[in-house]
Amino acid sequence: NAGVTQTPKFQVLKTGQSMTLQCAQDMNHNSMYWYRQDPGMGLRLIYYSASEGTTDKGEVPNGYNVSRLNKREFSLRLESAAPSQTSVYFCASSPDRGPYEQYFGPGTRLTVT
């Protein structure tokens, strides 16, 4: 089992460019999450999907969109990248919403110039 996989591992964008971060899990989990990690800020939830077919905003959704393509895949899109979106992005999954362990992917380091 690969667990949670993310692509790409690194990305450099110019301001205004768009891109999609891909995430897939092979644990048959219902819930999936996108976080961003910034120094001194911890991990902040961008969007989550409690189950296939549903998505909801987290703490910092502005500038992002998501798609729960199927039970395995959850993508994060930046339509018009801004330098403030320079961060490390983590995807995670859990069996269901609530008090369950979240399994994190290896992260995508994004730089917007």
Partner 1 sequence: QQQVKQSPQSLIVQKGGISIINCAYENTAFDYFPWYQQFPGKGPALLIAIRPDVSEKKEGRFTISFNKSAKQFSLHIMDSQPGDSATYFCAASSYNQGGKLIFGQGTELSVKP
Binding site for partner 1 (CB under 8 A): 4, 31, 33, 40-45, 48, 50, 56, 58-59, 90, 92, 96-99, 101-107
Q: Give least dist CB 48 to partner 1, A.
A: 6
Q: Report the residue number, 40 or 53, with the smaller CB distance to partner 1.
A: 40
What span, in angstroms and rounded, lies between the C-alpha atoms of 79 and 10? 18
Name the residue nearer to partner 1 (CB basis): 17 or 52: 52
Q: Is 62 helix (H, G, I), strand (E, B) or coil?
A: coil
Q: Cα–Cα distances in Å, from 22 out to 40, 41, 42, 76?
A: 25, 23, 22, 7
**Phi and psi at residue 84, in whole multiples of 5°?**
-70, -10
Classify burial at 105, counting beta carbons within 10 Å of its beta carbon; exposed 0-12, middle 13-18, buried 19 or more: buried
Q: Smallest distance, Å, CB 113 to partner 1?
A: 22
Nearer to partner 1, 17 or 37 (CB): 37
How are beta strands 10-13 and 108-112 bridged, if at all? parallel
For the CB of residue 28, give the shortest distance to partner 1 in the complex, in Å: 18
Considering the complex, what minimum distance in angstroms separates the CB of residue 53 from partner 1? 16
In the bound state with partner 1, the residue whose beta carbon lies nearer, of 28 and 42, is 42
